[in-house]
Structure formats: structure tokens, C-alpha cells
Amino acid sequence: GAVVSQHPSWVICKSGTSVKIECRSLDFQATTMFWYRQFPKQSLMLMATSNEGSKATYEQGVEKDKFLINHASLTLSTLTVTSAHPEDSSFYICSAGLAYSGSYNEQFFGPGTRLTVL
């Protein structure tokens, strides 16, 4: 099946620093990738939809200047948390969409990145 990787799997940083998370589709091309945030014991909340070669579409309430998304190729999307603060500590998960011929599609999730901001 389709494989999505994320790097790093966990990161600890100081408040005020920026952190970059990479999401890669390993064996397929993904024109669309999604970034989710999941706080402990909560559901996945979509942050933004990342489209290759164009600007990301952010969900309401998500600051686009704080969460920078770049989807420069069909296999790589990056999320940069700028000036991170403790409240940004969370589990960040990406997914990549694979559109099958015949109209339907499926999303494949990365393993997630646990961010802890001190």
C-alpha cells in the first residue's frame, strides 16, 4: 500500500524557536497533503490543505503566518511552526491523498510528529 513518512518523529524545542516537520509520500505522488493537529485525548483537527505548487488552504482559526506550509514537490510537504510556544505542543500528523482511477480516493497517514515546546 501507499506509504507516508514524517520527520522528525518527535522534537523538543525552546519557546520562540521554529520547527520544521517534513511529510513525504514514499511510493506515490500526492498533489494534495493534509496537516492535522491532535491534542491529548482529542480528535484530529485539520489545520490546512497543502496543494503542490500553490498556496495552502488554512482552516478557520489556524494562523497561516504561524504555521507555514510548503508543498514544493509531488512527494514532499513541510510544516514550519514559527515562534513556537508551549500551547503549540501537540501531535502533528500529515496525510497524503491518492486518487485512484475510477473516481474514488483514499488518504494515507504519516506516523506523526510529537512536538514539545518548553
User: Which parts of this chain interact with other proteins (CB under 8 A)?
Assistant: 31-32, 34, 42-46, 49, 91, 93, 95, 97, 99, 103-107, 109-112, 114
d(CA 94, CA 90): 13
Least distance from other proteins to the Cβ atom of residue 78, Å: 18
Least distance from other proteins to the Cβ atom of residue 79, Å: 16
Nearer to other proteins, 68 or 97 (CB): 97
Nearer to other proteins, 59 or 63 (CB): 59
Structure-derived torsion over alpha carbons of residues 67, 68, 73, 77, reported in degrees to the nearest 10? -20
DSSP code for 105: E
